């Protein structure tokens, strides 16, 4: 039983005329009649009788009509669903994201995506960049959001650059100057987070290269804990700008420029299997959303001002090594 036969049957039933049905379907009358005859042969029953008022359904035709209509409607819905999938307007997309991205970047992007694609369902899995790479390679997620990685079986799509910023609590003397030399951090306790994260290595490498050894180090397992420690005056930290943008805006944390060090940046990319082909449908729509948010995610530091000649203390804070200040 062919779709063309069912469409011919429904159209004749609606118009009660073979000629008008053939015109509506853009086929000849003989072709339409042949379709009806093949359908009747397949069903083993006559579907129409000719009357002076046109084509009239038989009892078998009356019984078959609602099923034929539902079949055409279902196929029409299926066609619309396929079209929506191709446009990214419906479907499902699975995302893998590194912790800092899933916490501070992905929620805002997914909110924007959901507003323009309300019929697309999204699932998210988190892990370090190497773990997300494995999920992509095993096809357990459609797309991974990670730091720049190299693997022969993936393609990377640049999303934005995240900058590490030095943050302190607003009462800290560094906040008063707004800028320091890297060597001044030697008198501070530095708060690090997640030893397995690339951010940990970037921070450590910055100090090693400059020959700076902080007076103390506090290691925590996540960015939120590090931010809370800084807010309470237990030290300073280098954190991704995307993770502290809200606190910097509200004034609960302050950013301090390091005058004699180049900005520490990390490229964030979307990765897919190389054999997945060109992004289409929901994946393409998601990448378009990410591209639209690139400008606001790639934060640029203000131009460098003249470096201070020496650290300025304010509020009676000592700049010699000592225990962490508590409020």
User: Which of these ranges, 37-46, 199-208, 225-234, has the smallest mean pLDDT?
Assistant: 199-208
Contacts of 298 (CB under 8 A, 6+ apart): 160, 161, 162
Strand partners, 145: 97, 270
Rounded Cα–Cα distance for residues 288 and 162 (Å)? 19
pTM, two decimal places: 0.65
Return left, alpha or beta for 315; rule: phi > 0 is left, psi -120 to 50 is alpha, else beta: left
Mean pLDDT of 34-50: 92
pLDDT at 320: 34
Strand partners, 96: 125, 144
How many DSSP H helices and E strands does the chain contain? 13, 12
Query: Do residues 175 and 236 lie in contact, with contact meaning Cβ atoms separated by under 8 Å?
Result: no
Q: Is the dihedral of CA 220, 223, 227, 228 positive or negative?
A: negative
Mean pLDDT of 42-67: 91
Q: What is the pLDDT of residues 63-118, one digit of tens each?
A: 999 999 998 888 887 776 676 565 555 678 899 999 889 999 999 999 999 988 88
Q: What are phi and psi of 156, to 5 degrees?
A: -115, 135
């Amino acid at each position: 039983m062919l779709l063309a036969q069912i469409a011919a049957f429904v159209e004749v039933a609606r118009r009660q005329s073979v000629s008008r049905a053939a015109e509506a379907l853009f086929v000849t009358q003989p072709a339409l009649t042949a379709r009806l005859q093949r359908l009747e042969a397949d069903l083993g029953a006559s579907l129409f009788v000719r009357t002076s008022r046109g084509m009239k359904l038989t009892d078998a035709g009356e019984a078959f009509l609602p099923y034929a209509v539902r079949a055409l409607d279902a196929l029409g819905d299926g066609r619309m669903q396929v079209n929506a999938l191709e446009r990214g307007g419906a479907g499902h997309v699975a995302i893998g994201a590194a912790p800092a991205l899933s916490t501070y970047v992905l929620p805002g992007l997914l909110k924007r995506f959901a507003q323009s694609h309300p019929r697309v369902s999204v699932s998210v899995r988190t892990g370090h960049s190497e773990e997300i790479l494995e999920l992509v390679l095993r096809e357990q997620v459609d797309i991974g959001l990670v730091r720049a990685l190299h693997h022969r079986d993936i393609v990377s799509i640049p999303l934005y650059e995240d900058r590490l910023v030095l943050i302190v609590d607003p009462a800290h003397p560094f906040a008063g100057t707004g800028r320091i030399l890297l060597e001044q951090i030697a008198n501070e306790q530095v708060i690090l987070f997640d030893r397995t994260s690339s951010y940990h290595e970037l921070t450590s490498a910055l100090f090693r290269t400059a020959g700076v050894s902080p007076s103390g180090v506090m290691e925590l397992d996540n960015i939120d804990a590090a931010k809370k420690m800084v807010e309470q005056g237990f030290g300073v930290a280098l954190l991704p700008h995307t993770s502290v943008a809200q606190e910097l805006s509200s004034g609960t944390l302050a950013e301090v420029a390091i005058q004699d060090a180049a900005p520490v940046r990390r490229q964030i990319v979307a990765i897919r299997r190389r054999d997945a082909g060109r992004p289409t449908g929901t994946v393409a729509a998601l990448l378009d959303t990410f591209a639209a948010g690139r400008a606001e995610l790639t934060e640029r530091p203000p131009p460098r001002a003249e470096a201070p000649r020496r650290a300025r203390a304010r509020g009676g804070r000592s700049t010699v090594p000592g225990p962490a200040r508590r409020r």
